[in-house]
Structure 1
């Protein structure tokens, strides 16, 4: 779903067929980076985890030469962009599922904005701090639900404590780094929680995705999504 939203934003903001310079910070195993490279864009992926970086390189090695030539992979952190890239080096900067593991997001956001060209697209996927009480509430964990109202921290499936962000705060932060919020979506409005959506049969998958996509664009549903996808545009 995030991939479709990224493609939608690229299609709205850049001429059809333009070969974009893309930076994917925290690229994981490189699925988003490869998708964009297959679409003709030049992609640089940055990942701190050496295991994920190795896996991404192995996947890339199986791609045709033309696609391999469009992808560069580095081990590093989005906060040290100044050590690797010139200011304004990228038309699109992706940072999906990374801010939640950074206790102080401002240096990372500043580093991302620094390498974003004028008119460039900054795409963030974060945990929604305004909806942290929903999961424990829907599973009957009332003590956890009450605690979540006053917290911006949560525990991921691996038992790691992570941080969530509030839409209002990130909107302010994006304006402060010169890439004000242009569009935002909700991700996992119905899925990802204790609900019938989690056990939907395969034949219902397309309908489920259609419902999720509609909810992710519609108030008030998107406001209680588990994740938020925010798109800022460099002035």
Structure 2
């Protein structure tokens, strides 16, 4: 997914431009720190104290120039309007957050307001069309049947939501097409081949449509 984000940033903004980036729900700050290392001015928002502590620890080990480019704000994902002015950022990230908030549409609208015209909104969400496939491949027939009736984000709904908040969908990818059931702590010997396969499948129909996660990129009009 990092490769996809870099691709979108490179395709939308001038080479060498220092972007203002907001990472909402930054977790341990891996993506936030990666963007700060790339030269961007990055603000991470997180409310979990343990995650914030981990992010600060990782940041403390970086050179001064990188530390100066990364800011950590303690707060909820939906409180961006409290901390920042509308149009303050060129890129807004919201990865693995929507499924944990009570009013995701309101959160998305707030994030879109943070974008400057032409800004990029990057979302990583669970794919509502994937659970039945995943459970079925694991042989859990009851879970697979139940998944058809689960209320969750699907590509069609997300596309309509992004259009409604003024950041229509520009492109989207599938993430974890083949690896969703793989153990997180096991690194395969042919990792490069696997990453190449996942990247290709995440861009290709029909495979990306059944990926465990969707990476959607909207652009502020």
Q: Say if 1:116 and 1:207 are closer, same or farther in 2 by CA, change over 3 A.
A: same
Match of 1:109 in 2: 108
**How far off is 1:199 after superposition?**
9.9
Instruction: Give 2:57's aligned residue.
Output: 58
**Deviations along 1:49-72, whole A, 9 cap, x unmatched?**
111011100110110000000000
What's the secondary structure of 2:17's corresponding residue?
coil
The residue aligned with 1:125 is: 124
Deviation of the 1:132 alpha carbon: 1.2
Q: Is the 8 A contact 1:191 1:198 kept in 2?
A: no
**Would the alpha carbon gap of residues 93 and 199 (structure 1) be closer, same or farther in structure 2, given more than 3 Å must change?**
closer
Coordinate RMSD, CA, aligned? 1.5
- Pick which of 101-110 and 211-220 moved more: 101-110
The structure 1 segments of at least 4 consecutive aligned residues displaced by more than 2 Å after TM superposition are 197-203
Structure 1: give runs of 5+ residues left out of the alignment: 153-163
Question: Match for residue 180 of structure 1?
Answer: 168
CA distance in 1, matches of 2:99, 2:24: 13
1:209 to 188, 191, 195: 195
Q: TM-score, length-normalised on structure 2?
A: 0.96
- 1:92-120: CA deviation from partner (whole Å, max 9, x where unpaired): 00000000112321111011011110000
Count of paired positions: 221
* C-alpha distance after superposition, 1:155-190 (max 9, x if no partner): xxxxxxxxx410000000000110000000000100
Gaps of 5+ in 2: none
Q: Whole-Å Cα distance in 2 between the matches of residues 204 and 49 of structure 1?
A: 35
Number of the residue aligned with 1:155? none
In structure 1, the residue matched to 2:206 is 220
In structure 1, the partner of 2:32 is 33
